[in-house]
Amino acid sequence: MFKAVLIANRGEIAARIARTCKRMGIRTVAVYSEADEGAPHTQIADEAYLIGPAHVTKSYLNAERILEVAREAGVDAIHPGYGLLSENSEFVHAVEAAGITFIGPRAEVMELMGDKARAREFAQKAGVPVVPGSDGVVADEDAAIALAESIGYPILVKASAGGGGIGMNLAKNEKKLRKAVQASVRRAESAFGDPSFYLERYIENPRHIEIQVLADTHGNAIHLFERECSVQRRHQKVIEEAPSPLVSRHDGLRERMCEAALALVRASEYVNAGTVEFIADEAGNFYFIEMNTRLQVEHPVTEMIAGLDLVEWQLRVAAGEELTIAQDALTIDGHAIECRLYAENPDKMFMPAPGTITTFKAPTGEGVRLDSGVDAGREVTPYYDPLIAKLIVHASDRPAAIAKMKGALTEMEIGGLTTNLNMHIELMDDADFQAGDIHTGWLEKR
């Protein structure tokens, strides 16, 4: 096992990874920007190093500086968390070249899955169902118009290097498709330096279902069931739960989706933790959309129902250990829900609302977990994602989990700035949410 791990991240995920490392007796090294000086993740870690100014390009995305700290601190592994450098294959190559273990998949698989068009084509060859669309990257705007006639409207234009909804635009006719292509190309070029795009048929009112997978270097691969992440704004998740209300309604659907996810894992020789994401319709038809080659923000709900620590298994797999968890020994224990608490204004199109946290009181009780990277007196700055904390609950079934979440949200206190806390309380009382009748556009249409 590793002696020291550098956590190349910030906020709640850095704090969460540090806690598992410390429980396992692994020395932890945190990094921080000038804006994050004294942040909780730096206090939890054994050591902390300043890596640059507030802006991410000069700090958390500064791979050279992070590797400099890794060598100085004498670590033998780097955990990237999620976001930032977590899916940057060049960073993986640089880490390995420095003789340090990267806690995640191989760079080659990361590159494959990071290109959404290539990943779609690869999934199709592996026998995983995909949404009807273009075979790979589309040459230009005119080619998109011609293809749309055979695929059928409505059409989604998607950036090949996209993620988080960036470079994704919907078109319901030819005129709007031209504008959607132009917008996607422009946004993708700006965000990723890659203007390439592909087309997919738009599935009306889709459900977002994802399968958590874990694979080792010895050829073993398992799934840890599914999560549903259909409550979203701007194509980004707000509430996640496990298991999925939709999947639970259809006999055999869970087994089919999980086996499809494992087929992709085996075909790509994937190693470490990953998530295979699908969209599904109410009839139970499902289609591959992408694979995230890292730990997910919503991984705690899977930990709750599966009874294990995903970060611990990431570390063990990266250290060369063999999975000791048999697939047939895994069962779903109850129901878990996660609410993402953001410094944002739901009444103003969920725009970020940075400010200083004056009070911060965490709820308590059995089956209640709070993953946070802030405390009272800390400023939520405009430099980073405005996520304050993730509130997770676990109960015997979905109705009990909803009731427990409402109680925990009511007990939670975040003062001094605008948040989406009250919105979450309202959603727990919403009849559609309670019935599990949701989809990816549901929140913004309420």
| Catalytic residue IDs | 294
- In sequence order, what E strands does 216-283 have? 221-233, 236-242, 272-280
C-alpha neighbours within 13 Å on the C-beta side of residue 294: 25
Q: How many beta carbons lie within 10 A of that of residue 282, not counting itself? A: 14
Quote the distance between the C-alpha of residue 328 and its chain's center. Answer: 26
CA–CA gap between residue 318 and residue 105 (Å, rounded): 9
Q: How far apart are the first and last CA of the chain?
A: 49
At residue 328, what is the residue type?
D
CA–CA gap between residue 279 and residue 440 (Å, rounded): 9
Identify whether the C-beta of residue 202 lies closer than 8 Å to the C-beta of residue 279: no
**Structure tokens belonging to residue 246:** 């939709």
DSSP designation for 295: -
Determine the 3-state secondary structure of 48 from DSSP.
strand
CA–CA gap between residue 44 and residue 398 (Å, rounded): 33
Determine the 3-state secondary structure of 32 from DSSP.
strand
